[in-house]
A and B are shown apart, each in its own frame.
Chain A
Amino acid sequence: MTTALEIADLDCFYGEVQVLHGLSFELRRGEVHCLLGRNGAGKTTLLKAIMGLVPARSGRIMLGARDLTRLPAHEVPKAGVAYVPQGRRLFAEMSVAENIEIGLMARGKGAATRENVLALFPILRERLKQRSGTLSGGEQQMLAMARALCLGPDVLLLDEPTEGLMPSMIAKIRETVEQLGERGVSTLLVEQRVDAVLPVADRVTFVENGRVRATVGVDEVRADPDVVKRYVGVG
């Protein structure tokens, strides 16, 4: 399996506070890789660092041969990394169509990509003219994913996509993530709850206090749920 994204010795700070301490791991091509850890472990910071939204003090984030830490934030999505932020962060006052348009513009994608993405989330097609802030929570999450997929990304970063959604929506999001792996998209999924991860993840990396505790195959977690408690003390 080839590496899609390699993070090596990453240090990140908020002001003087160090949030990530020499964090390293690799995301393989086509896998769903989950970052599991408590609130404040640095998971969201890591995603923001990959997107260039939080500067890396040292270390590398390699997408193929390119070091993303050397790119300005707005060049990272153009390199092929798409981001679904925590809380969705839609352009709430714009229509569904406009949110999708912004996703398409990022890498100059056209009607074909748009059709593909709308085929994944048919409900959005009926809502194109609606103001995105008035969608239901699940629809907003779908739109956030659709907007990101409009980049035609190689790597997709998902920050707690199932937070606060009803079970049927969670199933839909999960199903979509599985399909992405088949298309060769590598997904980095941030979650706090292990039960949200088990059905979709290929591998799990435990993060604690800005450091990687361990990376294990998902079978290992399934076989021995105590492994979660041992590494991050959450269930």
Chain B
Amino acid sequence: MAFGPHLLLATLEGLVNSAVLALTALGLSLVFGVMRVVNVAHGEFYMLGAVLAWWVASLVSGHPALGFLVALVVSPLIVGAIALASERLVLRRLEYNPESTIVATIGLLYIFQQAALTFYGPEARPVEAPFSYRVLLPWFGYSGYKLAVIAASALLLAGTWYMLTRTKIGLVMRATQYDRETAQAFGIPVTKVYAGVFALGAMLAAVAAVLTVPISQAHYLMGRDPLLLSFIVVIIGGLGSLRGTVIAALLVGLSDGIISVFYTPTLAKIIATLLVAMVLVFRPQGLFGTAAR
């Protein structure tokens, strides 16, 4: 294949990466931004989303699109419920203390991982894509499903943006993020907001995972890379900045896709990590973040 088409292919792969990454990282960023909780178990919510998607899809008979669509709705809901329970049973009892919650979410990480190993097993299993249409380009055919993933992610990001900036729920979330005490003085039930944000963050990761399983299979250890990359994206993009998260996800996802195709995936990770180091040195608040108040 000539260089041009090869680059196009790599770019498309990178965009699919970016699309999934942006959703996952946005979940992490919301939790980090509003609750000041570093959720180390975020990648496991992603993994649970994928594993539950396989389980749900395997229960539904008939056309594969039906199983996938049911999974796309049910799996994030279950993950959201699990996150809500974790928030109530663990994080709230620690009063959201930044250090304690890091340790606690490391614990949650192992609990979720081992639970998945116990109930789901060590196998990697795919969920069948809802459709197998291939887009024929002059140089190669490309999976229509992957293009749909990009579109779905863009839609979900736009929806989240709309919710954050244009609705009362978003206003309440932002008020809690800026000043928890003053928010309470204006009748905002901060602990309920926290619970909702934690569930929402986990559900975004789960949706991203469901979109991924037809491409990359569900496995109980699949949460590690998304966690690492999400942290990279949040650090580069800046805390609590949706725009920063999306742009950083594009940057990291595209470079990961392109560099992986032409060189090696390891080099892609090295460069992303180097970028994080540079951002931390020269612009600690992230490219689009605002300095801490």
Contact = CB atoms under 8 A, between A and B. Distances in A.
Interface of A: 51-53, 72-78, 83, 85, 89, 91-94, 98, 101-103, 105-107, 147, 151
10 contacts: A51-B184, A72-B189, A73-B184, A74-B190, A77-B185, A77-B187, A85-B185, A103-B186, A105-B187, A151-B186
Nearest to A53: B181
Given A53-B185, A94-B171, A147-B186, 12 more contacts: A51-B185, A73-B185, A74-B184, A77-B186, A91-B175, A91-B178, A91-B179, A93-B290, A102-B171, A105-B171, A105-B187, A106-B186
Contacts of B189: 72, 74
B132 interface: no
A121 B144 CA distance: 57
Contact of B174 (A74, A75, A94): A94
Contacts of A91: 174-175, 178-179, 182
Contacts of A92: 178, 293
B171, B182, B290 pick with most chain A CB within 10 angstroms: B182
Contacts of A105: 168, 171-172, 186-187
B77 to A, nearest CB: 27
A101 B184 CA distance: 15
The 4 A-B residue pairs whose C-beta atoms are closest, nearest first, are A106-B187, A73-B184, A77-B187, A89-B182
Nearest to B189: A74
Nearest to A48: B181
B13 to A, nearest CB: 36
A74 B188 contact: yes
B187 to A, nearest CB: 4
A75 B192 CA distance: 13
Given A74-B190, A105-B168, A94 B175 contact: yes
Interface residues of B, number: 19
A51 B185 CA distance: 6
Contacts of B171: 94, 98, 101-102, 105
Contacts, number: 64
Interface in B161-197: 168, 171-172, 174-175, 178-179, 181-190
A52, A53, A78, A102 pick with most chain B CB within 10 angstroms: A102
A89 B179 contact: yes
Nearest to A47: B185
Nearest to A77: B187
A222 B64 CA distance: 84
A212 to B, nearest CB: 24
A102 B186 contact: yes
A107 B188 CA distance: 10
Contacts of B168: 101, 105
B239 to A, nearest CB: 12
B174 to A, nearest CB: 7
A220 B31 CA distance: 55
B69 to A, nearest CB: 36
A141 to B, nearest CB: 15
A182 B185 CA distance: 25
Nearest to A52: B184
A169 to B, nearest CB: 21
Nearest to B176: A91
A103 B171 CA distance: 11
A87 B147 CA distance: 51
B168, B179, B181, B189 pick with most chain A CB within 10 angstroms: B181
